[in-house]
Structure 1
Amino acid sequence: MPPAIPMTMCTIPPLDEEAWENLMNVLRHGSTEGRED
C-alpha cells in the first residue's frame, strides 16, 4: 500500500488495488471529472 496517505489506512474494508488506483488518480488530478476516462 502507498505509505503517503495514512488516513486511508484506516478504511474498512481495506482498499483493493483498483480502489487505490482510483484514489491516487483523484489525488493527483484533483477530481474524477473524466479527464482520463
Structure 2
Amino acid sequence: MNTVKETHTVREPQSAENYDATAKQKSAAKLSRIPV
C-alpha cells in the first residue's frame, strides 16, 4: 500500500498540494461545524 502511495506522489507532485488544500478546507469545515 505504501508503495502505491509513494508512486502516486511521485507521478503527481501537485496532488500533495491539492491534498493539503483539501485537508485545510476539511479542518475549517469541522471548526465551523462546532457551535461556539
Return the TM-score normalized by structure 2: 0.41
Structure with the largest fraction of helix: 2
Higher gyration radius (CA)? 2
Return the TM-score normalized by structure 1: 0.41
